Homo-oligomer: A and B are copies of this chain.
Amino acid sequence: MIVVKVGGSKGINYDLVLQDLAKYHDVVLVHGGSDELNTISAKLGKPPETITSASGYVSRRTDRETLDIFNMVYCGKMNKMIVEKLQRLNVNAIGLSGIDGRLLMGKRKDVIAVENGRRRIIRDDYTGKVEAVNTDLLRLLLQHGYLPVITPPALSFDNEAINVDGDRAAALIASRLHAEILIILSNTPGLLRDEHDESSLVPIVTRESFDQAMSFAKDRMKKKVLGAFEALNAGVTRVVFADARKPMPITNALQGQGTVIQ
């Protein structure tokens, strides 16, 4: 079993990713859509906003109106674009969000923002963290020859759609399905010592070098490193960060190109 997460940042080449993906069996794909969400939100007169938490994490401000646009972009445009491309490659893909069949369940967070050093609780924010995966549904679909293509949002335990981090959702899916490998593809060769220098790739991260890796990681890469270690702690053997702008990104990741976390 391989779990692949492909990000939603600028520069990702979905054709290259999906052509390579189509060669493998027993695959679950998780995807993002952040860049397209920023574009569509702005066009609809609702430009993206971010929240910085007390611990320094930056996340998307997700009020109910943003969540509607989120659904349009992630579940509508991106998910169906990927499913259609896979069908064209003769892969019988099924697109699902985390709310379909209670696939991804989690707790809605009390979001606390820090603005100019002051903490403020944001009440109408629909954000959370995935804590449970409906593996029965995924196994049912895989057993019948379908390739699940999964996107946020997830469903809260109070049955509200919630924006969740796709990398950490993929990590939980990989661990609950006992995947051998989790491949996280984005618009970078992997974890970089210097985020502005693509030749500064860190080829291997181990438990011993976790703190060092977190110090290199900036912004969203912090969540990727966290997700990777969550997956390792939950039994996934290997996580690879690899480049979704190059040909054969999955085959290359399986051969150890990128940043291998083990």
Closest to A147 in B: B101
Chain B residues within 8 Å of A140, by CB? 140, 144
What CA separation (Å) do A161 and B76 show in the bound complex? 12
What CA separation (Å) do A79 and B155 show in the bound complex? 14
Q: Which of A129-177 contact B (CB under 8 A)?
A: 136-137, 140, 144, 146, 153, 155, 159-161
What CA separation (Å) do A99 and B149 show in the bound complex? 12
Task: Kindly state whether residue A87 has any CB partner on chain B within 8 Å.
Answer: yes
- Number of identical monomers bound together in the oligomeric complex: 2
Chain A interface, number of residues (Cβ within 8 angstroms): 39
Chain B residues within 8 Å of A153, by CB? 80
Chain B residues within 8 Å of A99, by CB? 80, 83-84, 87, 95
Known A-B contacts A43-B45, A76-B73, A77-B71; A95 and B87 likewise in contact (beta carbons under 8 Å): no
Cβ distance A239 to chain B, nearest Cβ, rounded Å: 28
Closest to A68 in B: B77
Closest to A79 in B: B75
Q: Which of A215-256 contact B (CB under 8 A)?
A: none
Q: Which of A101-153 contact B (CB under 8 A)?
A: 101-102, 136-137, 140, 144, 146, 153
Chain B residues within 8 Å of A87, by CB? 99, 102, 155, 159
Whether B44 and A84, one on each chain, are in contact in the complex, defined by CB atoms closer than 8 angstroms, is no
Cβ distance A70 to chain B, nearest Cβ, rounded Å: 8
Task: Kindly state whether residue A54 has any CB partner on chain B within 8 Å.
Answer: no
What CA separation (Å) do A73 and B76 show in the bound complex? 7
Q: Which of B73, B83, B101 contacts A146 (CB 8 A)?
A: B101
- 6 more CB-based (< 8 A) A-B contacts, given A80-B153, A84-B161: A43-B44, A71-B80, A83-B97, A84-B159, A101-B146, A137-B144
Interface residue ranges, A against B (CB under 8 Å): 40, 43-45, 68, 71-77, 79-81, 83-84, 87-88, 92-97, 99-102, 136-137, 140, 144, 146, 153, 155, 159-161
Q: Can you name 23 A-B residue pairings with CB atoms under 8 Å?
A: A40-B72, A43-B43, A44-B44, A68-B77, A71-B77, A71-B81, A72-B73, A72-B76, A72-B77, A73-B76, A76-B77, A76-B79, A80-B97, A83-B97, A83-B99, A87-B155, A87-B159, A92-B101, A94-B100, A94-B101, A95-B96, A95-B97, A96-B100
The 9 closest A-B pairs by CB, nearest first: A76-B76, A72-B76, A72-B72, A88-B159, A71-B80, A94-B101, A75-B76, A94-B100, A71-B76
